Every structure is written in C-alpha cells, then in structure tokens.
Chain A
Amino acid sequence: MLVASAGNVVVWMVWIVAAFACLGSGVAVVSFSSPFYSALALIGNLGSLAVLYLLLNAEFVAAAQVLVYAGAVMVMFLFVIAYIGPRSESPWMGGPGWQAVGAVLAAGALLVEIVVVISLKASGQLAHSEHVDATFGTPAYIGRLFLTDHLLAFEITSIVLLVAAVGGVILGAHSRRSPEEVPSL
C-alpha cells in the first residue's frame, strides 16, 4: 500500500493535511453556536474538499466546487446570515433527551454501516484503482460527457436550476401590503 516514492510522499502529505482540514471544519460547522462562524468553517471545508478532488484527478469538479459552491452558494449564505442579524442566534440544543441519544446512535450506526458495507462488498474492487489517461477529469472530458452520454442529466439539471431561481424570487418577493389608511370623510 505505501509505495515509497517522492511523488507518493508529497501526495500523502497533502492528503493528510486536506483530510484533517476537511474533517475538522466539518466538526466545526456542526459545533459553532454562531451561524456566521459555521458558514466560514464550511468554506474551509469546501476548499479542502477541492484539494481532495484534485488528488483524485477531477480538476473540473474541483474548480466548480470552488467557484460555485464556495464562491456563490456560501456567499449567498453569508448574505442571508448578515441580513437576519442577531436574531439568528438560538440555543444549541434542546428538546427531549432521547432525541439527542437517538441522533448520536443513528449517526454512529450510519457510519459503522458505511464502513462495514463498503469493506464487505467492495474491498476487492477498491484495492486496485484504474489507470486513467491524462484527459480524465479535464473540462473537455466533462464537456464531452455532458453533451453525449449524459445529455439528459445536463438538460434536466438546467431546468432544476431555473425552477429554483423562480422559486427563490417568489419566496423573496415582498407580500402585498393591505391598505392601512381608512379614507376619512
């Protein structure tokens, strides 16, 4: 597993840093009480994920992650948090005690299952990764796939975005104000 070579060591180092950053910022998102700090932690998470994508030869996806996710979505988040202001603070946790226990158990179970299932079923496949050529993950490669094999997904995704945009506008529009003044005689 550990192939000692110069390129390999560098990749390993980068991987360790990026992975821990990813995990740490993930925990941070969930733990901070202020949504502002959570959003910032999420930006860090997204960035470390982009690094991991690069290590996996998915350049376009990494770029899209930074541009779209960290650049647009998170900015939108921060806009809204700033707009709402202090009202966005709320108690960390509450509700029935069994809910917390149940949540932890459920999350733990999910994690264990993911590990177990993948190791049971796919460990043979996972042991050896394919060799890919240099064009794998390039924008040209993604673009060709979008316009040939996965054209339908491409088109439908665009429609989903359109619907979301329209929905956002409607949700955000000011409601009509009823007349407050009664005409005096």
Chain B
Amino acid sequence: MIALLGPEISWYLAVAGFLFATGSLGVLLRRNPLIVLLSLEIMLNGANLALIGFSRNLGDGGGQIFALAVMAVAASEVVVGLGLVVALNRKRVTLDVDRLNTLRG
C-alpha cells in the first residue's frame, strides 16, 4: 500500500479553487467568445483536479471515472461551441460577446 507523498490533499484543492476562480474571471470579463471557451476549460479542469484529489484522498476510483466523463463532456461542448463560432464567422458577425444580444427581451 502506498501512502500519499508530498503535500496533503488540501494543497491540491487550493490549486483547484484558484483555477476555478481564475476561469470564472475569464468567463465574466473577456469579450472574445474563443477566450470565453478557453476560460471555461480552465474551470472544468479545476473541477477535475478537485475530483482526482478527493478520489486519492478517499481511495475511491469513482472520482477518476467522473473526471473522465467530465473530460468527454468538455470535449463535446468545445466541439459545439467552436462550431457556433465558425458559423458566426461565416455570417460575418462580429466576434464580440457584447454585440451578440439579439435575445434581448
């Protein structure tokens, strides 16, 4: 049986938290949809890190399974998001999130 070497899990969780906060800042502050998608990836990765950390802490493999599923879903979401961006580009629409407000009520 292997013990955990190095920092305790809490350190990993701190990193995960920082990653999540950074990613959310990017989502909220950037205007380019591509950058927004990238920041979204950062957030997802932060969550993944937390999952893996807890999985190691509890000795349960389910966390890693969950992380793999998250990865698959993130990939799918990126596919759809980039498809949208490409379609927008083809219609010669400005790639600026603040200009894309036709759903205004």
> A interface vs B, CB < 8 Å?
1, 3, 7-8, 11-12, 14-15, 19, 22-23, 26-27, 29-30, 35, 38-39, 42, 45-46, 49, 52-53, 55-58, 60-61, 64-65, 68-69, 72-73, 76-77, 80-81, 83-84, 87-95, 99-100, 102-104, 106-108, 110-111, 114-115, 118-119, 123, 125-127, 129-134, 136-137, 141-142, 145-146, 149-150, 153, 157, 160-161, 163-165, 167-168, 170-172
On whether the beta carbons of B42 and A157 are closer than 8 Å, the reply is: no
Q: How close is B81's CB to chain A, nearest CB, in angstroms?
A: 10
Main secondary structure of the interface of A (DSSP, over half): helix
On whether the beta carbons of A90 and B45 are closer than 8 Å, the reply is: no
> B interface vs A, CB < 8 Å?
1-15, 17-26, 28-32, 34-35, 37-39, 41-42, 45, 48-49, 52-53, 55-59, 61-62, 64-69, 71-80, 82-87, 89, 94-96, 98
On whether the beta carbons of B68 and A142 are closer than 8 Å, the reply is: yes
Also in contact, A84 and B65, with CB within 8 A (given A27-B22, A52-B49, A61-B52)? no
- Which one of A83, A110, A157 lies within 8 Å of B20 (CB-CB)? A110
